[in-house]
Amino acid sequence: AQTVTQSQPEMSVQEAETVTLSCTYDTSESDYYLFWYKQPPSRQMILVIRQEAYKQQNATENRFSVNFQKAAKSFSLKISDSQLGDAAMYFCAYRSPKAAGNKLTFGGGTRVLVKP
Amino acid sequence: DTEVTQTPKHLVMGMTNKKSLKCEQHMGHRAMYWYKQKAKKPPELMFVYSYEKLSINESVPSRFSPECPNSSLLNLHLHALQPEDSALYLCASSLKLASGTGELFFGEGSRLTVL
């Protein structure tokens, strides 16, 4: 079974600075999908960025980018120019194309605090 | 419209009560999901519906009863719950199962407290 590990329970960053969240996963599959979801205090889970494993190019969405290292099974998220609205819980997630019901395997989450 | 709407946002119920959570989406998605999330934990999948049919039941106790009356609506009926069932219940939808990345769109959740 796949597992996803987020080793940082909490990260703090100064406004306008950069923070990197780590995520590692364990799988024997070669084809899969990886996601970063953000859950602010409003509770709604919002997709931040996604990566298909067959794509070598790292995904980027505005201030959010990933460093996807397939051989190392690592999928870190970099938040550049941090803003107060980035304060949230961030979950890394894995999905196998074979997963019944589009089931996501989530990491334990990393809380990001943004200091003004 | 890219919203998944959940009602109520907050619900307090006794262990003998019967209540329901409601989820609605108008994105034309044909897969809908219920997740349970305890404090400071990731969401856990409960049920998956595909084309209004139950596709996945993650061994959820029968005191939780899902229903999908049409392609836009998903309900979760609650009966004889226990205090440990207190949690945030998240609804999500996706275009359909096994389609591309299978991106999920989540609602804001219903915070349930069982007394």
Q: Are the CB atoms for A34 and A25 separated by under 8 Å?
A: yes
Q: Per residue in A37-63, pLDDT tens?
A: 999 987 899 999 999 999 989 999 999
What CATH class has A3-115?
A: mainly beta
pLDDT band at B2 (very low <50, low <70, confident <90, very high): low
pLDDT band at A115 (very low <50, low <70, confident <90, very high): very high
* CB contact (8 A) between residue A102 and residue B98: yes
Q: Per residue in A7-20, pLDDT tens?
A: 999 999 999 999 99
Chain A CB contacts of B90 under 8 Å are 43, 45
How far apart, in Å, are the Cα atoms of A50 and each of A7, A114, B49, B115? Answer: 20, 23, 23, 39
- Of the candidates B13, B30, B22, B37, the one whose C-alpha atom is nearest the C-alpha of residue B76 is B22
Mode of pairing for the β-strands spanning A110-115 and A60-61: unpaired
Q: In this complex, how many residue pairs, one in chain A and one in chain B, have their CB atoms less than 8 Å apart? A: 63
- Of the candidates A41, A93, A104, the one whose C-alpha atom is nearest the C-alpha of residue B31 is A104
Residues 6+ positions from B3 with CB-CB distance below 8 Å: B25, B26, B27, B105, B107
User: Residue B46: phi, psi to the nearest 5?
Assistant: -110, -60
Q: What is the mean pLDDT of chain B?
A: 93
Integer Cα distance of B4 and B23 in angstroms: 7
* CB contact (8 A) between residue A102 and residue B102: yes
More confident residue, A23 or B103: A23
pLDDT band at A97 (very low <50, low <70, confident <90, very high): confident
- Of the candidates B9, B115, B19, the one whose C-alpha atom is nearest the C-alpha of residue B65 is B19
pLDDT band at B99 (very low <50, low <70, confident <90, very high): low
* CB contact (8 A) between residue A33 and residue B102: yes
- Of the candidates A50, A32, A52, the one whose C-alpha atom is nearest the C-alpha of residue A91 is A50
Q: Nearest CA of chain A to the CA of B14: how many Å?
A: 24
**What is the model's pLDDT at position B1?**
58
**What is the model's pLDDT at position A100?**
81
Integer Cα distance of A98 and A33 in angstroms: 11
* Averaged pLDDT for residues B42-69: 95
B101 touching chain A per CB within 8 A: yes
* CB contact (8 A) between residue B45 and residue A103: yes
Integer Cα distance of B98 and B47 in angstroms: 16
* Averaged pLDDT for residues A75-103: 93
Asked if the model's pLDDT at residue B52 lies above 70, the reply is yes
B 22-61: CB under 8 A from A: 31, 33, 40-43, 45, 48, 50, 55-56
pLDDT band at B102 (very low <50, low <70, confident <90, very high): confident
